[in-house]
Amino acid sequence: MKIYLLFPLLFVISAIAYGQQTMQKSIDVNKLNDYLRQLPATIKVSMVAESVTGHRYFAYRPEAIVPAASVIKIPVLIELMDQAGKQKIELTKIYKLTAADKTGGSGIIAGMPDGKEFTLRELAQEMIHSSDNTATNVLIREVGMKAINDNLIRLGSTHTRLNRIMMDTLAARQGRENYVNAVEINDLLRKIYNNNIATPALCKEMLEILKNCADTTTIPRYLPRQVAIAHKTGELSYVRGDAGIVYTGNPFILSVFVEGFDEMSQAEKIIGDLALICWESLK
């Protein structure tokens, strides 16, 4: 009898040992702290790295509320998909572009002819792929700014807010800025990853859209090209940010925002360096 019990016992011991080994996977916190300490005093970094289950690997100024730039397009995408999941809106709905829709900044749709037709799904894809501001503003009007913020509250975000449309410089000068918090944007991404928003099919679609973000100068900067990253970047003259899910052997969620830089390339390198340290620990 003892012989027969030996193999199940060995299996249990091996499983426990494997589980402990998996649990011990962590980010090199000392390396991250050393890197952040050597940055110029004018540089302000807000950063949170977590597992897809919510385990906090590392946080630096996690309480910071920073200008969102185009990272705010993640909540816009979430609200669109949430309404689609509740059958309040159809992603196949056709929208005809007008001259009044067109706005400056990033994207390609403003250069297209009036009357060109897009589905809401296509607008959502371009909102993330090229960070298209015209597509974003159309979608904000379609789903409603209040609905986006109400959904953020429902999902537990207390600081992340959409307060103006894209390229509304007057609103920005008046202090009506869009804001994001690294902890909260991580939580939103984790909810998408774990199918806690809309439907599993729509969460999968959101992740595929986010994986198609064309900007590779920040989190993806130094990572191997074959590493899938579902992310959205943001850029203003005074903030550079990126928030995404990095699909490694141990998938992790990372949000990094940099302020106080002299050159945009400086901020992009900082985000890339921090992402590389995290990836090297968790790959």
Number of domains in the chain: 1
- Cα separation, 89 vs 222, in Å, equals 39
Give domain status of residue 118, yes or no. Answer: yes
pLDDT at residue 253 is higher than 70 = yes
Task: Read off the pLDDT of each residue in 229-249 and give the average, rounded to a whole number.
Answer: 97
Question: Which residues neighbour 90 within 8 Å (Cβ) at sequence distance 6 or greater?
Answer: 84, 120
Give domain status of residue 17, yes or no. Answer: no
Give domain status of residue 19, yes or no. Answer: no
- Cα separation, 242 vs 234, in Å, equals 6
Looking at residue 12, its pLDDT comes to 41
Q: What is the CATH number of the domain that holds 106?
A: 3.40.710.10
**Range from 1-5, 126-130, 208-212 carrying the lowest mean pLDDT:** 1-5
Q: Smallest Cα–Cα separation from 80: which of 159, 142, 128? A: 142
pLDDT in tens, 54-100: 999 999 999 999 999 999 999 999 999 999 999 999 999 999 999 99
Looking at residue 24, its pLDDT comes to 53
- Cα separation, 268 vs 74, in Å, equals 20
Q: Token digits for 161?
A: 């807010």
Give domain status of residue 197, yes or no. Answer: yes
Give domain status of residue 16, yes or no. Answer: no
Radius of gyration of the chain (CA): 21
pLDDT at residue 32 is higher than 80 = yes
Looking at residue 180, its pLDDT comes to 98
Residues 101/138, Cβ–Cβ less than 8 Å: yes
Task: Read off the pLDDT of each residue in 143-165 and give the average, rounded to a whole number.
Answer: 98
Give domain status of residue 137, yes or no. Answer: yes
User: Rounded to two decimals, what is the model's pTM?
Assistant: 0.91
Tokens 């540089």 belong to residue: 43
Q: Token digits for 34?
A: 């050393």
Give domain status of residue 20, yes or no. Answer: no
In a 10 Å sphere around its CB, with 0-12 CB exposed, 13-18 middle and 19+ buried, how is residue 74 labelled?
Answer: buried
Give domain status of residue 11, yes or no. Answer: no
pLDDT at residue 197 is higher than 50 = yes
Residues 35/43, Cβ–Cβ less than 8 Å: no
Task: Read off the pLDDT of each residue in 231-242 and give the average, rounded to a whole number.
Answer: 97
Which range marks the domain in which residue 224 is found? Answer: 25-282
Please state, for a pLDDT cut of 70, what percent of the chain lies above it: 92
